[in-house]
Amino acid sequence: MNYQVTPISSLISPRMPYTIRILLENLLRNDVPREQIDAVLDWGSERSFATAVDIHPSRIFLHDTNGVPLLTDIAAMRDAVEHPDAVNPKIPVELVVDHSVIAEEFGTPTAFERNVEIEYERNAERYRFLRWAQASLDRFAVVPPGKGIMHQVNLEHLARVVMTDGGWAFPDLCLGTDSHTTMVNGIGVLGWGIGGIDAEAAMLGEAVTMLLPPVVGFRLTGALTSGATATDLVLTITELLREHGVVGKFVEFHGEGVRRLSVPDRATIANMSPEFGSTCAYFPIDDETIRYLRFTGRSEEQVALVEAYAKEQGLWHRPEDTADYTETVELDLGTVQPSLAGPNRPQDRIALADAAVGNSGVVGIAAITSCTNTSNPSVMIMAGLLARNAVLRGLTSKPWVKTTLSPGSRVVTDYLDTAGLTPSLEKLGFHLTGYGCMTCIGASGPLVDELQNAVRSKGSAVVAVLSGNRNFAGRINPDIRMNYLASPPLVIAYALTGTMATDLTRDPLGHSPEGTPVFLSDIWPSQDEVTAVMEVITPDMFEEAYRDIFTGDTRWENLGNPGNDRYDWDPQSTYLRRPPFFDEPIGPQDIKCARVLAVLGDSVTTDHISPAGAIPPGSPAGRYLAERGVKRFAFNTYASRRGNHEVMVRGAFGNVQLPGIYEAAMAYRDAGVPLVILGGAQYGTGSSRDWAAKATALLGVRAVLAESFERIHRSNLIGMGVLPLQYRPGENARSLGLTGREVISIRGVSTMDETITVHADEREFDVVVRLDTAREREVYRAGGILRLTMSRYGRSL
Q: What pLDDT, in 10s, does the model give residues 82-103?
A: 889 899 999 999 999 999 999 9
- In angstroms, the CA 688 to CA 274 distance is 9
At residue 797, the pLDDT reads 39
How, if at all, do strands 462-466 and 482-485 pair? parallel
- In angstroms, the CA 264 to CA 251 distance is 18
Do 3 and 306 touch, CB atoms closer than 8 A?
Answer: no
At residue 796, the pLDDT reads 43
Q: Does 535 have pLDDT greater than 50?
A: yes
> Residues 273-302: what's their mean pLDDT?
96
Find the range with the poorest average confidence among 506-515, 622-631, 653-662.
Answer: 653-662
At residue 773, the pLDDT reads 86
Confidence band of 583 (pLDDT split at 50, 70, 90): low
Find the range with the poorest average confidence among 322-331, 494-503, 581-590, 668-677.
Answer: 581-590
> Residues 622-638: what's their mean pLDDT?
93
At residue 351, the pLDDT reads 96
Q: Does 119 have pLDDT greater than 50?
A: yes
At residue 688, the pLDDT reads 65
| Percent of the chain at pLDDT exceeding 70 | 98
Confidence band of 584 (pLDDT split at 50, 70, 90): low
At residue 428, the pLDDT reads 98
Confidence band of 585 (pLDDT split at 50, 70, 90): low
Question: Residue 783: which region, alpha, beta or left (left: phi > 0; alpha: psi -120 to 50)?
Answer: left
> Residues 430-437: what's their mean pLDDT?
96
- In angstroms, the CA 661 to CA 667 distance is 10
> Over the stretch 705-714, which tens digit does the pLDDT of each residue have?
999 998 889 9
- Strand locations in 524-599 (E): 591-599
> Residues 145-151: what's their mean pLDDT?
95
At residue 1, the pLDDT reads 72
Do 219 and 255 touch, CB atoms closer than 8 A?
Answer: yes
What pTM value is reported for the model? 0.89
> Over the stretch 453-492, which tens digit does the pLDDT of each residue have?
999 998 888 999 999 998 888 789 989 989 999 999 999 9
Instruction: List Cα–Cα distances, 271 to 55, 268, 370, in angstroms.
Output: 22, 5, 10
- In angstroms, the CA 331 to CA 346 distance is 18
Q: Where do the structural domains in the chain lie, given as residue ranges?
A: 34-335, 339-545, 591-610+652-791
How, if at all, do strands 215-221 and 327-332 pair? parallel
* Fold match, 34-335 / 591-610+652-791: no
Higher pLDDT, 674 or 481: 674
Q: Does 511 have pLDDT greater than 60?
A: yes
**Where does residue 631 rank: exposed (0-12), middle (13-18), buried (19+ CB within 10 A)?**
exposed
Do 313 and 8 touch, CB atoms closer than 8 A?
Answer: yes
**Backbone phi, psi, residue 743, to 5°:** -95, 125
**Residues whose CB falls within 8 Å of the CB of residue 782, separated by 6 or more in sequence, listed in order:** 788, 791
Do 373 and 380 touch, CB atoms closer than 8 A?
Answer: yes
**Backbone phi, psi, residue 658, to 5°:** -120, 80
Q: Would you tell me which CATH number, out of the four given (3.40.50.620, 3.20.19.10, 3.30.1490.190, 3.40.30.10), belongs to the domain 591-610+652-791?
A: 3.20.19.10
* Domain boundaries 339-545, CATH class: alpha beta
Q: How many CB atoms lie within 10 A of CB 434?
A: 31
> Over the stretch 744-764, which tens digit does the pLDDT of each residue have?
999 888 877 888 999 999 899
Q: Note the residue count of the chain.
A: 797
Task: For the chain, give the mean pLDDT.
Answer: 93
Do 410 and 148 touch, CB atoms closer than 8 A?
Answer: yes
* Helix, strand and coil percent figures for the chain, each rounded to 5: 40, 20, 45
Helical packing angle, 410-418 and 377-392, nearest 10°: 40
Fold classification of 34-335 (topology level):
Aconitase; domain 3 (3.30.499)
Higher pLDDT, 659 or 117: 117
> Over the stretch 382-403, which tens digit does the pLDDT of each residue have?
999 999 999 999 999 999 999 9
> Residues 772-781: what's their mean pLDDT?
89
Q: Does 246 have pLDDT greater than 90?
A: yes
Reduced to 3 states (helix: H, G, I; strand: E, B; else coil), residue 270 is helix
User: End-to-end distance of the chain based on CA atoms, in angstroms?
Assistant: 46
664: Cα separation from own chain's centroid: 31
Please, where are the H alpha helices in 436-595? 449-458, 488-497, 520-523, 527-533, 539-545, 554-557
How, if at all, do strands 402-406 and 517-518 pair? unpaired
At residue 794, the pLDDT reads 63
Do 32 and 227 touch, CB atoms closer than 8 A?
Answer: no
| Percent of the chain at pLDDT exceeding 90 | 82
> Residues 65-84: what's their mean pLDDT?
91
At residue 558, the pLDDT reads 92
Q: How many CB atoms lie within 10 A of CB 291?
A: 13
Do 549 and 94 touch, CB atoms closer than 8 A?
Answer: no
Helical packing angle, 230-244 and 377-392, nearest 10°: 130
> Residues 579-595: what's their mean pLDDT?
81
- In angstroms, the CA 87 to CA 206 distance is 12
Higher pLDDT, 522 or 640: 522
**Where does residue 29 rank: exposed (0-12), middle (13-18), buried (19+ CB within 10 A)?**
middle
